[in-house]
Structures are given as structure tokens and as C-alpha cells.
Amino acid sequence: MEIHLWWLELDLPAKEWLRENLEAEAVPEHVLAAVRAAGGEVANGTLTGREWNFIETQSEFVD
């Protein structure tokens, strides 16, 4: 599922962690669990470059 669809379902603490730790090589399990619960997919313990770009450039517009 595209990030713009699951981002709206993501809980606020997970959103804040992702915004504060852009392009983290490893995302804590509680944040990954929130991403999965919202409908996102996780590979290799982090997000894709496209997802990080969305978080950096557009995420605050869709909250």
C-alpha cells in the first residue's frame, strides 16, 4: 500500500518518531509495528527511500 494511504492511519507517536529520525537505517520495532498496523509494509527494518521522501516533504500536509 502506498504511504499516502497508510500514513493517515498511523498513530501520532510513530509519526513523530519517523519525522524526527528521517532516513534511519533501523526503525524501532514499536514504530514498525505501528506502520504494519496502519497497512504499511516494512523491508529490512526500515522504510523505502520513497517513503522517507514523503515523510520529509509531504507528511505534515496530510495529517
Helix (H, G, I), strand (E, B) or coil at 50: helix
pLDDT tens digits, 28-63: 999 999 999 999 999 899 999 999 999 999 987 765
Residue 32 has a pLDDT of: 97
Q: What is the pTM of this model?
A: 0.89
- C-alpha to C-alpha distance for 29 and 35, rounded to whole angstroms: 10
What are the residue ranges spanned by the domains of the chain?
A: 3-60
